């Protein structure tokens, strides 16, 4: 589901499954984050050594949680005034964003600073619902009404709408790191500059995460989705599916960390999903020539290996 600070988060299905945390590289060991006090739990975001998501007791409402690397080390961020529950979507280690339910299918974007008492309701006037998806420093991003991308700086009244390509009225903002915001519109994968609000099209598909330099996501190829990566332009697109072992028909990239490692999953024809890490590897000679002569081209000058 995500990557950051040498940590990967996700889920296992079946007996012994649950919300998982891998540390690495080489990501050989994992920790099950499921707290014994709850019946159901899921981890959704990771950053700064923290993991966030939600948990619930069967028949009760969801509680936003923040973990610190183990099932026993967590903070319940839930705020009782949100009657249908809360969840935390992402964290940079200091702040957490997510949403709290105020009615059936209606939520308010929320911001925490590590405790339930610190909660700030980011929901702006004039809209029915909002959701916080990403946070980096004093900026938060998310969506209004489910499909209007926006950005906050710590308060509801700070909300600004992210621009969309001419003629479009809907889009999605999924993640922020540094001055980069990524998401999608009906035109495809989209990159915004958080400082200037300049918008860049990355071509078809959707960008799900960014490390501030590169972007990761997915694109439709021959009737299936393939994991894709970019380094700031449509021309830089790389189909990560080509680096997988043979036999996988579908793949998705869902997170990218500071080192450029990309995490996601791929599916075999029997529908079993396998988690993967794509690790960038500089080419010995061409990489050096490119960096000396043309400047660092990031993913364009890299190949990948998978774990």
Mean pLDDT by 10 residues, the chain (307 residues): 94 84 89 96 97 96 97 97 96 98 92 98 97 98 97 98 94 98 96 98 97 97 95 97 94 96 92 89 50 34 65
Sequence-distant contacts of 15-24: CB under 8 A, at least 24 apart: 19/43, 19/51, 19/53, 21/46, 21/51, 21/67, 21/69, 24/277
Measured between alpha carbons, how far is 255 from 276 in angstroms, rounded to an integer? 11
Q: Which residues pair with 50 in a beta bridge?
A: 47
Strands annotated E in 145-283: 148-152, 160-161, 171-177, 180-185, 188-193, 199-201, 206-210, 215-221, 224-230, 238-239, 250-256, 262-267, 273-282
Residue 47 to residues 15, 26, 50, 51, Cα–Cα distance (Å): 28, 18, 5, 7
Convert 17-49 into a string of H (helix), E (strand) and C (coil). CEEEEEECCCCCEEEECCCCCCCEEEEEEEECC
Measured between alpha carbons, how far is 93 from 75 in angstroms, rounded to an integer? 13
Which pLDDT score is estimated for 101? 96
Take residue 99 and report the two structure tokens written for it: 């949403």
Residue whose C-alpha is closest to residue 130's, from 110, 155, 158: 110
């Amino acid at each position: 589901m995500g990557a950051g600070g040498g940590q990967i988060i996700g889920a296992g299905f079946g007996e012994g499954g649950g919300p998982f945390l891998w540390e690495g590289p080489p990501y050989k060991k994992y920790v099950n984050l499921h707290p014994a006090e709850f019946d159901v739990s899921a981890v959704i975001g990771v950053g700064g050594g923290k993991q966030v998501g939600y948990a619930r007791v069967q028949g009760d409402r969801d509680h936003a949680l923040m973990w610190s690397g183990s099932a026993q080390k967590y903070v319940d961020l839930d705020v009782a005034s949100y009657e249908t529950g809360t969840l935390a979507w992402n964290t940079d280690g200091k702040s957490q964003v997510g949403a709290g339910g105020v009615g059936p299918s209606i939520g308010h974007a929320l911001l925490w600073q590590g405790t339930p008492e610190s909660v700030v309701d980011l929901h702006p006037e004039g809209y029915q619902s909002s959701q916080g998806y990403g946070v980096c420093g004093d900026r938060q991003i998310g969506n209004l009404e489910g499909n209007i991308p926006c950005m906050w700086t710590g308060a509801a009244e700070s909300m600004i709408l992210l621009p969309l390509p001419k003629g479009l009225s809907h889009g999605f903002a999924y993640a922020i790191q540094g001055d980069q915001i990524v998401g999608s519109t009906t035109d495809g994968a989209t990159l915004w500059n958080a400082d200037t609000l300049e918008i860049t099209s990355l071509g078809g598909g959707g960008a799900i995460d960014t490390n501030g330099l590169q972007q990761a996501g997915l694109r439709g190829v021959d009737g299936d989705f393939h994991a894709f990566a970019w380094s700031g332009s449509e021309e830089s697109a790389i189909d990560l599916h080509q680096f997988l072992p043979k036999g996988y028909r579908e793949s998705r990239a869902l997170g990218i960390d500071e080192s450029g490692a990309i995490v996601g999953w791929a599916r075999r024809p029997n529908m079993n999903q396998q988690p993967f890490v794509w690790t960038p590897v500089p080419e010995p000679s061409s990489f050096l020539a490119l960096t000396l002569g043309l400047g660092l081209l990031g993913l364009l000058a890299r190949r990948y290996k998978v774990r």
